[in-house]
């Protein structure tokens, strides 16, 4: 019998599985491919923890998968010693379907294992969970969210004591523990009343909110100097951002904030959009309408767990989107120029970005004497650096960012934070408005100064086992065969992160790179253009990142198109 069939049978016959779940499984008994998709593997810890479609099965998000993962997580915490475990775990959740249920399940399994759970009383943004881990000096944290994935998904982001998401060391320990749990009877769970009575469950909220919001307000650099009348349109996309983002903007004196009514209240069915990812321009449809009604100048959207921020600007009457790299360079430029003016750039300053984030930020940072460090995709990797500097005091982390619209300013949160990024961006927009400039004008000034950088991220969605196999073939074939010239650009260097080798194309010389292993490829050309390929760690996609650089906008755009066309044609031809 196939392994997936064995797993299916095991669930159907397990006395711990409830009748409703069994009924759901019974209904697919004649659908082999559905059974295979639900049971061919366990959900894996990817870029941001466990993430999968909601439903019954080992490859799905449900209370059993959560309970087993949590038992394993509890085992790992307990193995770190009694004093460590005693510090407890902070747990939050977002607006998604079953998020509150999964969060409570997590808390009660932790409680049964002697680990006190600090559980948020209602939904909160991801950055606040990171903050809570630090606030309560917990040993770990969990946030139930699938971030920006479609509505049929949920997820489990796991955090360690510093307040950042676990890296492969802890993830591997949890996976090992998961593999040892053969039956659900090995998972301990405590009743809610008992957990409350024993002090192993505590509901949290206002106290952490106030402290977190206070810290967020502290990121402001110019506060009182600014005219804050700029008209801001905000959409939380029916997620966790509504309360904190509005509170921060309002308490900081931004009075003209207009919230998209249809997307204001938390709703895991996301009734107005198919894909609650603010990277997708469709997410702005309602915000744009509202902006036209009230003459909005700055449009901001946060994703369901409010760790990502997308931005659009009214420029010359037209609403124009900024991509994640562009918002990143605007923030870098605003923060560094303002800090410099006030003589506040710390010693040994660093900004951290991922290997697939653009180079324009590096050029600006360099101009201010700030080092740019590149790490693998994922804020767990970005925030690993401030965690390290806590101990070594070697460098000072100013901010971290990624092209995928994630920003972390300062160190009070160790994950990306759309609440503080919203405030900083509003502040930048207000500051430049007083000089009669929109953020698009600012970007154009930066292009003039640092060169024209253009970029695009293209995702090919390939679902299910077949999709996964095709992504693998695409990566394998690209590893072997790739173009040496695209238009007038000549390939100079190839980096294969899987084998951690960088190859100089003309000499064939290979050198080892000092970065962790991951399935990604990067091709760098002699004129500053480059592209990279990697399978997404959060969604069933392969991602192509294309970057061009030239002395004029037209040329940079032309090169970008050439690169896109060339690579996409090759990818599509791989069956």
Ligand X SMILES: O=P(O)(O)OC[C@H]1O[C@H](O)[C@H](O)[C@@H](O)[C@@H]1O
* Region near ligand X per CB under 6 A, out of 12-20, 248-256, 401-409, 473-481: 401-409
Q: Of residues 443-472, which lie at the interface with ligand X (CB under 6 A)?
A: none
Q: Which one of the spans 16-24, 360-368, 399-407, 513-521 is the region binding ligand X (CB under 6 A)?
A: 399-407
**Closest to ligand X by CB, 57 or 304:** 304
CB of 379 to ligand X, least distance (A): 4
Question: Of 409, 410, 157, 122, which Cα lies nearest the Cα of 243?
Answer: 122
Separation CA 448–CA 466 (nearest Å): 46
CB closer to ligand X, 154 vs 536: 536
Beta-strand relationship, 153-160 and 49-53 = antiparallel
Q: Are strands 257-259 and 298-302 parallel, antiparallel or unpaired?
A: unpaired
d(CA 97, CA 82): 35
Binding segment toward ligand X, per CB under 6 A, in 69-77, 398-406, 447-455, 565-573: 398-406
Q: Does 134 bind ligand X (CB under 6 A)?
A: no
Under a CB-based contact definition with an 8 Å cutoff, are residues 377 and 352 in contact? Answer: no
Applying CB under 6 A, which of residues 429, 537, 544, 546 lies at the interface with ligand X? 537
Buried b (16+ CB within 10 A) or exposed e, 219-231: bbbeeeebebebb
Q: Between 296 and 358, name the residue whose CB sits nearer to ligand X.
A: 358
The answer to whether 129 touches 417, Cβ cutoff 8 Å, is no
* Nearest distance from C-beta of residue 303 to ligand X, angstroms: 8
Distance CA 299, CA 440 (A): 13
Q: Does 543 bind ligand X (CB under 6 A)?
A: yes
For residues 11 and 156, which CB has a smaller minimum distance to ligand X in the complex?
156
Closest CB to ligand X among residues 403, 496 = 403
Q: Which stretch binds ligand X (CB under 6 A): 34-42, 471-479, 525-533, 537-545?
A: 537-545
Does 538 participate in binding ligand X (rule CB under 6 A)?
Answer: yes
- Among residues 130, 147, 404, 489, which one is catalytic? 147
Q: Does 276 bind ligand X (CB under 6 A)?
A: no
The binding track of 487-526 with respect to ligand X, each residue x by CB under 6 A or -, is ----------------------------------------
CA atoms within 13 A on the CB side of 16: 15
Q: Is 377 a residue that touches ligand X (CB under 6 A)?
A: yes
398 touches ligand X (CB under 6 A):
no
Q: Which residues contact 307 (CB under 8 A, 6 or more apart)?
A: 125, 126, 127, 147, 379, 406, 415, 416, 417, 418
> Is 379 near ligand X (CB under 6 A)?
yes
CA 118-266-229 angle, to 5 degrees, is: 105
8 Å CB contact between 200 and 111:
yes
420 contributes a contact to ligand X by CB under 6 A: no
Closest approach of ligand X to the CB of residue 250, in Å? 27
Tell me how far, at minimum, the Cβ of 525 lies from ligand X, in Å: 23
Q: How far is the CB of 402 from ligand X (least distance, A)?
A: 5
Main-chain phi, psi angles of 530, to 5 degrees: -160, 160
Assess 357 for contact with ligand X (CB under 6 A).
Answer: no
Q: How far is the CB of 74 from ligand X (least distance, A)?
A: 24
Segment contacting ligand X by CB under 6 A, of 177-185, 233-241, 445-453, 534-542: 534-542
Determine, following the binding rule CB under 6 A, whether residue 47 of this chain makes contact with ligand X. Answer: yes
DSSP 346: P
Concerning whether 147 is annotated as a catalytic residue, the answer is yes
Q: Judged by CB under 6 A, does residue 539 bind ligand X? A: yes
Cα dihedral sign, 102-10-178-113: positive
249, 226 contact by CB (below 8 A): no
Helix (H, G, I), strand (E, B) or coil at 427: helix
Minimum CB separation of residue 397 from ligand X in Å reads 16
Residue closer to ligand X, measured from CB, 427 or 539? 539
Q: Which two tokens stand for residue 141?
A: 């944290």
Contacts of 52 (CB under 8 A, 6+ apart): 43, 59, 60, 61, 65, 153, 154, 155
Other Cβ atoms closer than 10 A to 214: 12
From the CB of 537, what's the least distance to ligand X, in Å?
3
Closest by Cα among 96, 97, 77 to 86: 77
* Near ligand X in 228-247, by CB under 6 A: none
- 417 is an interface residue for ligand X by CB under 6 A: no
Residues in Cβ contact with 261 at an 8 Å cutoff, skipping those fewer than 6 apart: none
Contact characters 48-77, ligand X, x per CB under 6 A: x-----------------------------
Residue 380 or residue 433: which is nearer to ligand X going by CB? 380
Q: What residues are labeled active site?
A: 147
Chain residues in the site for ligand X (CB under 6 A): 47-48, 147, 377-379, 402, 404, 406, 536-539, 543
């Amino acid at each position: 019998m196939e392994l997936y069939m064995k797993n299916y049978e095991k669930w159907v016959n397990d006395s711990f599985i409830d009748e409703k779940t069994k009924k759901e499984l019974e209904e697919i008994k004649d659908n082999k491919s559905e059974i295979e998709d639900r049971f061919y593997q366990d959900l894996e810890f990817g870029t941001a923890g466990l993430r999968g479609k909601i439903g019954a099965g080992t490859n799905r998000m449900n209370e059993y998968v959560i309970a087993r993962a949590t038992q394993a997580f509890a085992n790992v915490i307990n193995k770190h010693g009694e004093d460590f475990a005693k510090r407890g775990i902070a747990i939050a959740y977002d607006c998604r379907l079953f998020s509150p249920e999964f969060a409570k399940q997590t808390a009660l399994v932790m409680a049964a294992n002697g680990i006190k759970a600090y559980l948020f009383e209602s939904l909160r943004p991801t950055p606040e969970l990171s903050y809570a881990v630090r606030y309560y000096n917990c040993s770990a944290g969990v946030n139930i969210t699938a971030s920006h994935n479609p509505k049929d998904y949920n997820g489990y982001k796991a955090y360690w004591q510093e307040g950042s998401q676990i890296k492969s060391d802890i993830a591997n320990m949890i996976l090992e523990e998961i593999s040892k749990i053969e039956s659900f009877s090995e998972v301990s769970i405590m009743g809610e009343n008992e957990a409350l009575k024993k002090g192993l469950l505590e509901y949290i909220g206002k106290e952490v909110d106030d402290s977190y919001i206070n810290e967020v307000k502290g990121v402001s650099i110019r506060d009182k100097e600014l005219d804050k009348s700029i008209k801001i349109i905000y959409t939380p996309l029916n997620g966790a951002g509504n309360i904190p983002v509005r509170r921060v903007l309002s308490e900081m004196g931004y009075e003209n904030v207009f919230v998209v009514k249809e997307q204001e209240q938390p709703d895991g069915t996301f009734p107005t959009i198919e894909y609650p990812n603010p990277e997708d321009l469709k997410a702005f449809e309602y915000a744009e309408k509202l902006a036209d009604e009230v003459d909005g100048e700055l449009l901001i959207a946060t994703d369901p767990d409010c760790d990502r921020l997308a931005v659009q600007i009214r420029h010359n009457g037209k609403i124009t989107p900024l991509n994640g790299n562009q918002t990143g360079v605007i923030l870098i430029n605003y923060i560094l120029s303002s800090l410099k003016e006030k003589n506040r750039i710390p010693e040994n300053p660093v900004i951290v970005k991922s290997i697939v984030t653009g180079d324009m930020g590096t050029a600006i940072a360099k101009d201010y004497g700030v080092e740019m460090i590149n790490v693998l995709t994922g804020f767990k990797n970005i925030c690993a650096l401030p965690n390290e500097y806590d101990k070594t005091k070697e460098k000072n982390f100013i901010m971290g960012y990624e092209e995928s619209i994630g920003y972390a300013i300062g160190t009070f949160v160790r994950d990306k934070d759309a609440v503080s990024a919203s405030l900083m961006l509003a502040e930048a927009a207000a500051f430049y408005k007083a000089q009669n400039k929109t953020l698009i004008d600012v970007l154009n000034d930066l292009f003039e100064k640092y060169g024209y950088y253009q970029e695009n991220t293209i995702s090919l969605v390939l679902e299910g086992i077949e999709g996964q196999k095709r992504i693998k073939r695409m990566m394998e074939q690209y590893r072997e065969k790739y173009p040496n010239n695209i238009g007038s650009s000549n390939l100079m260097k190839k980096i294969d992160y899987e084998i951690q080798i960088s190859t100089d194309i003309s000499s064939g010389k290979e050198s080892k790179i000092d970065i962790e292993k991951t399935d990604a490829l990067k091709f760098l050309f002699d004129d500053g253009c480059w592209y990279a390929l990697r399978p997404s760690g959060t969604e069933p996609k392969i991602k192509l990142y294309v970057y061009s650089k030239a002395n004029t906008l037209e040329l940079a755009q032309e090169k970008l198109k050439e690169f896109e066309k060339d690579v996409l044609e090759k990818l599509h031809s791989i069956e």
